[in-house]
Amino acid sequence: MTSDNFLDLPPLLSARGTVTLPGSKSISNRVLLLAALSAGTTEVRDVLLSDDTERMLDGLRKLGVGVEQVESHVFRVTGCGGNFPNKEAELFLGNAGTAFRPLTAALALSGGHYTLSGVARMHERPIGDLVDALRALGANIDYLDNEGFPPLEIFPATLSDAARVSVRGDVSSQFLTALLMALPLLDREVTVEVAGELISKPYIEITLAMMKRFGVEVARDGWRSFTVAAGSRYVSPGTVYVEGDASSASYFLAAGAIGGGPLRIEGVGSESIQGDVRFADALALMGAQITMGPNWMEARGPESGKLKAIDLDCNHIPDAAMTLAVAALFAEGTTTLRNIASWRVKETDRIAAMATELRKVGATMEEGADYIRVTPPAHIRHAAIDTYDDHRMAMCFSLAAFGTEGMCINDPGCVAKTFPEYFSAFAGMTQAVPVIAIDGPSASGKGTVAQRVATALGMHYLDSGALYRLLGLAAQRRGVALDAEAQLAKLAGQIDIRFEGEDIWLDGVKVGDELRTEEAGSAASKVAALHQVRAALLAKQRAFRRAPGLVADGRDMASVVFPDSVLKIFLTASAEARAERRYKQLKEKGMSANIAALLQDIRARDERDTQRSAAPLQQAPGASLLDTTALNIEQAVAEVLARYRAKK
Ligand SMILES: Nc1ncnc2c1ncn2[C@@H]1O[C@H](COP(=O)(O)OP(=O)(O)OP(=O)(O)O)[C@@H](O)[C@H]1O
Ligand SMILES: Nc1ccn([C@H]2C[C@H](O)[C@@H](COP(=O)(O)O)O2)c(=O)n1
């Protein structure tokens, strides 16, 4: 269920299937830049198409590099042999750290005049340590706004002949990556010394592997220093295939672990050069069953049936570790993720964001400068999750929909940064709590049939008409007019409704037969025609969707409330048959009834329910018609069950 700025994920029951991952962002952007700096033409295949790679491609085109898209994920890059054709350019790099940092270094050593800027958050992400290292090599770089942060202006410079340069490794490993990738432009031996403890080491492994693929082998002394030899030149390897994104794999592996699996990921595996594949080890520590081959991984739920908490240093998997924080909601005990200070300077302050949003779903959170501790709640609450323009926040929290109430993700479009198709891929791999929607006109028998179908299948039952009836009743009791839209919508949010078997409670008081009178039905029909009232009752209705499934009856179950229902039935009967049924129903309850008046009332209600502008009664697209005029109750129930089985 989507709107422009939120996505309401239904409660999820299970996860299984096979997903092919989009290309890795880290590898795509490195390879595109190295191809641009090389001599020769490179065909880069399986490139990730996303905001961040678009920023890199756009930047390279502005620098005069030949970039041609030959197929949907295939680009032909005509390298400039280390000398960008355009010596003057203004680059806008969004929030793409993997474009901003490496381009800063390459352009600082390129003898041109460039400005580099990004979105507001990019201008809050530190770059001073990289600029200091480049200045030590003679680069001429100015801060255009705040000292130590983008935007930057780069001027042609007379470079120094320094043979050693130092760069901090404990803020972002991208500073070292950027320097190393740019150093072959100097055409002399330079050694980079890493100051402080280098974080996110696996990302440096990716950098070194990609540089090697383009003909530059970096000599190293462990993680302390790296030397690029004189005469190092990038040479196109011809064709490069980009691996699937290992960080993106984490969401699906976690889904397989939480939702039972087996969930298979194709595109990364045991031979991957990406450090984030080690996320699978972390998940295995939580009890998940993991298997893998060279190019695939598969996750299943733990044999014990329940994930367990872990206490883990996550320095080697900083991005994928976010997924562990949400997976911790489904684990027994308190999970602690340590050594994650770099989260604070990513797309958002991810430690603060994660703690804030996990609290919303009921978790007990503790956060420190470089760690986070998650104690899951007994019951994961439905909440509107803010995503802070951070793709990983949105993707991680999709997993929280495995709680019993589903989850609402605000601004789901932010996943475009690295995985534009994420939510449709996720929907394809997960199975929501099933809903059978039975809509139809008054007295068609939908309530009776829905209840019996629910019993036969062991599912929950929602009589949505009762909510409108209860609101009408509450309004009449409080003297609220049945056309006072705003007041009624407010009242809808305030009333306390409880269903217990056959019994219905309104504000703590059991409601009797008065709810089933034609007066109550008529009042319900009036309040149900009001848009604000319908909106106010939407969440209350969706909250009935619980494992193992729901049978819901009403007027707009299939079209509005549960549009993803597995089976949609439009159950009807002639007005005369319905008046007859209602007559018998009322008489059986010892209530007075007049068949002519009932027929007139049913026709009036049909007219109002079908003609209103708010969610009018109609056969929804995808709903199948079931006319019960000539069927008894048992036959109608059997028909619905047969249609459900045919769907499975
Ligand atoms: N196929 C059928 N044949 C005969 N009677 C039926 C059939 N289906 C339902 N009934 C009877 O019709 C009456 C009305 O049914 P029910 O209350 O289920 O309808 P409904 O569509 O839910 O009505 P409403 O939503 O307006 O309250 C009940 O007494 C029920 O037993
Ligand atoms: N999903 C629903 C359910 C009910 N209504 C309206 C229409 C009816 O006139 C009224 C009472 O419903 P009933 O108990 O007879 O099923 O409530 C609706 O608009 N949408």
pTM here?
0.85
- In one-letter notation, the amino acid at residue 626 is L
Please report, in range form, the residues annotated as the binding site. 25-26, 30, 97, 125, 172-174, 200, 319, 346, 350, 392, 417, 440-448
Closest ligand to the CA of 610: 2
In terms of CATH architecture, what is 25-241?
A: Alpha-beta prism (3.65)
Supply the pLDDT for residue 85: 97
> Which CATH number does 435-647 carry?
3.40.50.300
- Listed range (17-21, 166-170, 613-617) with the worst mean pLDDT: 613-617
- Rounded to an integer, the average pLDDT of 234-240 is 97
What residues have CB less than 8 Å from 360, skipping those under 6 apart? 381, 383, 384, 385
The atom number, within ligand 2, closest to the CA of 443 reads 15
Q: How far, in Å, from the CA of 464 to the mean position of ligand 2? A: 7
Q: How far, in Å, from the CA of 96 to the mean position of ligand 2? A: 50
- Rounded to an integer, the average pLDDT of 353-381 is 97
The atom number, within ligand 1, closest to the CA of 573 reads 1
Q: Is the pLDDT of residue 337 over 50?
A: yes
ipTM for the assembly: 0.96
**Model confidence over 539-548: pLDDT tens digits?**
899 999 999 9
Q: Whose Cα sits closest to atom 23 in ligand 1?
A: 443
In terms of CATH architecture, what is 6-22+244-431?
A: Alpha-beta prism (3.65)
Q: Are both 25-241 and 435-647 of the same fold? A: no
CB atoms < 10 A from the CB of 365, how many?
16
Supply the pLDDT for residue 501: 83
Please report, in range form, the residues annotated as the binding site for 3-phosphoshikimate. 25-26, 30, 172-174, 200, 319, 346
Supply the pLDDT for residue 513: 86
Closest ligand to the CA of 444: 1
What residues have CB less than 8 Å from 182, skipping those under 6 apart? 102, 105, 106, 108, 109
Residue 442: CB within 6 Å of ligand 1?
yes
By most ligand atoms within 8 Å of CB, the mutation choice from 438, 448, 574, 609 for ligand 1 is 448
**CA dist 4 to 8, 321, 533, 535, 537, Å?**
11, 29, 21, 16, 20
Please report, in range form, the residues annotated as the binding site for ATP. 440-448
Q: Whose Cα sits closest to atom 13 in ligand 2?
A: 465
- In one-letter notation, the amino acid at residue 339 is N
Residue 636: CB within 6 Å of ligand 1?
yes
Q: Which two tokens stand for residue 381?
A: 């609450």
Q: Is the pLDDT of residue 4 over 70?
A: no
Residue 315: CB within 6 Å of ligand 1?
no
Closest ligand to the CA of 588: 1
Band of the pLDDT at 2, cuts 50, 70, 90?
very low
Nearest by Cα to 259 from 11, 507, 488? 11
Residue 445: CB within 6 Å of ligand 1?
yes
- Listed range (141-155, 215-229, 505-519) with the worst mean pLDDT: 505-519
Q: How far is CA 495 from the centre of its chain?
A: 32
Owner of token pair 């082998």: 217
Could you give the CA distance from residue 383 to residue 546 in angstroms, rounded to a whole number? 16
**DSSP β-bridge partners for residue 436:** 551, 567
Q: Is the pLDDT of residue 129 over 70?
A: yes
Residue 554: CB within 6 Å of ligand 1?
no
Under 8 Å between Cβ of 179 and 105: yes
Nearest by Cα to 499 from 544, 550, 533, 451? 544
**Model confidence over 556-565: pLDDT tens digits?**
999 999 999 9
Under 8 Å between Cβ of 263 and 256: yes
Average pLDDT in the chain: 95
**Model confidence over 51-63: pLDDT tens digits?**
999 999 999 999 9
Q: Is the pLDDT of residue 1 over 60?
A: no
Q: How far, in Å, from the CA of 218 to the mean position of ligand 2? A: 71
Band of the pLDDT at 616, cuts 50, 70, 90?
confident
Under 8 Å between Cβ of 212 and 220: no
Domain boundaries, the chain: 6-22+244-431, 25-241, 435-647
Residue 442: CB within 6 Å of ligand 2?
yes
Stronger pLDDT, 409 or 616, i.e. the higher one:
409
Under 8 Å between Cβ of 635 and 447: no
Could you give the CA distance from residue 305 to residue 324 in angstroms, rounded to a whole number? 18
**Model confidence over 461-478: pLDDT tens digits?**
999 999 999 999 999 999
Q: Is the pLDDT of residue 207 over 80?
A: yes
Under 8 Å between Cβ of 495 and 507: yes
Residue 555: CB within 6 Å of ligand 2?
yes
- Rounded to an integer, the average pLDDT of 65-78 is 97
Residue 441: CB within 6 Å of ligand 2?
no
What is the Rg, in whole angstroms, of the alpha carbon atoms belonging to the chain?
Answer: 30
Q: Which two tokens stand for residue 434?
A: 């099933």
Residue 633: CB within 6 Å of ligand 1?
yes
**CA dist 300 to 289, 294, 343, 397, 403, Å?**
5, 18, 28, 19, 18
Closest ligand to the CA of 628: 1
Q: Whose Cα sits closest to atom 1 in ligand 2?
A: 554
Stronger pLDDT, 610 or 255, i.e. the higher one:
255
